[in-house]
Amino acid sequence: EKGGFDHFMLKEIYEQPEAIRDTYRGRMLPEKGLIKMAGIDDHISKFLNAKRIIIVACGTSWHAGLVAEYTFEDLARIPVEVEYASEFRYRNPVINKDDVVIAISQSGETADTMAAINLAKENGAFVFGVCNVVGSSISRATDAGAYTHAGPEIGVASTKAFTTQITVLSLIALKLGKEKGSISNSDFNMYLNELELIPAKIEQALESNNHIIQVADFYKNARNCLYLGRGFNFPVALEGALKLKEISYIHAEGYPAAEMKHGPIALIDEEMPVVVIATKKGHYEKVVSNVQEIKSRKGKIIAVVTQGDQQVKKIADHVIEIPDTFEAFTPLLTTIPLQLISYHIAVMLDKNVDQPRNLAKSVTVE
């Protein structure tokens, strides 16, 4: 049932190329220059007239929502707020009739996310679900939706659900961007062609697995770990830190790289590994100077870089390469090595990877 893998988590990490193909299959039609999604097509005016999109989710799904904030604002020029469902539901939030609420949930059963949906509906908002489990409570409670089609996710630590959520949300952002004219037809087509290449690029990223095992071995005894990223990859830093915490029980924090100097830099010494996402796109030079600052404080740097990178390679203690892609799609690639690092460290520490202590696959009570 684990298909030759030692754990479901590893199997699911390796399933990501196929899962993403399943997510966009039949929806993305590059030869026609079209994205077809019934849940959006049937309610297109709701989306085009939306003054704002509010995304509600928990945990890893919330991180996918944060990536979507960058994608929706960049490609579709719609303002986005991303909320922890648990905070939103009790905050007496301002919800307007022309808000579109997007709820993201792998299981479709998360209690806080469900409560946030009910609150949004009571206030007259249109609620769209992005779920993985077909027929789940959230998929039934929402006005419309799009499934991720990632297949069953058994490992408690979410992996393929995250990347397929980002894929669905990117498709929606691209579709709305095209409808609104905020991206040109030729850019739209370029994005579609690039998205089609992502599964093969994830396969390439997975080829670093043996190298990542060596990196993991180097850091497995760390007590703390910092994850830094900017722009589209800031949420990936949060997700990388969450994965490490969840399955290896090593304390980890994710930060937007520029926030480092507002506090976390005080933590940096020779005992502190810092995982930095430093891909060629988006703020590269600024992240390089963060890497230099970490180095000069003797922090240990593990950098996720674009293939062929020269600058970071000279400074970092370890580099893990990923293929080049459009900035908006980099999270789909940068996430892969971070999942693998956590996985291998947890295995080396003899932790229960698929069933980490104190965690449940779906959190059906608040």
* Interface contacts to ligand F6R, rule CB under 6 A: 58-61, 105-107, 110, 113, 156-158, 242, 246, 362-363
Report the C-alpha gap between 228 and 214 in whole angstroms. 21
Residues 6+ apart with CB under 8 A from 199: 16, 17, 18, 20, 21
Taking the mean position of all CA atoms in its chain, how far away is CA 17? Answer: 15
Q: What are phi and psi of 77, to 5 degrees?
A: 55, 40
Min separation Cβ 50 and ligand F6R, Å: 23
Q: Whose Cβ is closer to ligand F6R: residue 129's or residue 229's?
A: 129
* β-strand pairing of 34-35 with 28-29: antiparallel
Cβ contact 93:195 at 8 Å: no
Query: Closest-CB residue for ligand F6R?
Result: 59
Report the C-alpha gap between 115 and 256 in whole angstroms. 29
Q: Whose Cβ is closer to ligand F6R: residue 195's or residue 338's?
A: 338
Min separation Cβ 242 and ligand F6R, Å: 6
Q: Whose Cβ is closer to ligand F6R: residue 20's or residue 272's?
A: 20
Taking alpha carbons only, the member of 330, 26, 332 closest to residue 199 is: 332
Exactly one of 46, 220, 286, 361 is catalytic; which is it?
A: 361
Rg of the chain in Å (alpha carbons): 20
Q: Whose Cβ is closer to ligand F6R: residue 107's or residue 325's?
A: 107
Q: Whose Cβ is closer to ligand F6R: residue 12's or residue 321's?
A: 12
Range list of H helices, the chain: 8-14, 16-24, 38-41, 44-49, 59-71, 85-88, 111-122, 137-141, 160-180, 185-206, 209-219, 234-248, 284-296, 311-315, 330-348
Min separation Cβ 200 and ligand F6R, Å: 25
Q: Whose Cβ is closer to ligand F6R: residue 129's or residue 177's?
A: 129
Instruction: Decide if 361 is catalytic.
Output: yes
Min separation Cβ 283 and ligand F6R, Å: 26
Min separation Cβ 334 and ligand F6R, Å: 17
Min separation Cβ 59 and ligand F6R, Å: 2
Report the C-alpha gap between 354 and 341 in whole angstroms. 15
Residues 6+ apart with CB under 8 A from 359: 156, 246
Q: Enumerate the active-site residues.
A: 361
